[in-house]
Amino acid sequence: MTAELILRWLHVGGAAVLLGTGAGIAFFMVMAHRTKDARLIAHVSGTVVLADWVFTASAVVLQPVTGYFLARAVGWPLSEGWIVWSLVLYVMVGAFWLPVVWMQHRMRALAKAAVAAGEALPTAYFRLFRIWFACGFPAFAGVLAILWLMIARPVL
């Protein structure tokens, strides 16, 4: 097995983790939110926060590293148009993801506090959820666009 093949495998695997974890997190958060059950939301958002740190954060760190070494191994200049646009989109996705991580922590805390007080979810939770939900669309579209660029490698 060559270094290039290992790098390709790691890079594609990281992309799959980013896409899959993002889709899974979104699905489970939305399904929990729909119940409006603070106890369930507190539990699911706790799992989501953990998954984001274990899977998403590790893939976020590994993607540029494997991408850099893969480009060097294959001979693609980093100034290649599709690579530049992938990096621009990667930064954009990160600009949405970082606040989303904070929102998930905050929504979890608000849900736990509601459970502890025996109260309904506060207005702040619902406001954060709407923002969290809205941030998911450009972030997910960005990841899909990056995947397309990686596969098609168009001349830009």
- Domain hosting 78: range is 3-150
| Angle subtended by helix axes 3-35 and 123-152, to nearest 10 | 150
DSSP string, 11-73: HHHHHHHHHHHHHHHHHHHHHHHHHT-HHHHHHHHHHHHHHIIIIIHHHHHHHHHHHHHHHHH
**Confidence band for 1, pLDDT divided at 50, 70 and 90:** confident
Residue 113 lies in a domain: yes
Residue 32 lies in a domain: yes
Residue 39 lies in a domain: yes
Please report the pLDDT score of residue 29 as a whole number: 98
Residue 156 lies in a domain: no
Model pLDDT for residues 96-151, shown as the tens digit of each residue = 999 999 999 999 999 999 999 999 999 999 999 999 999 999 999 999 999 999 99
Residue 99 lies in a domain: yes
Residue 155 lies in a domain: no
Residue 87 lies in a domain: yes
pTM: predicted TM-score of the whole model, two decimal places: 0.92
| Domains: count for the chain | 1
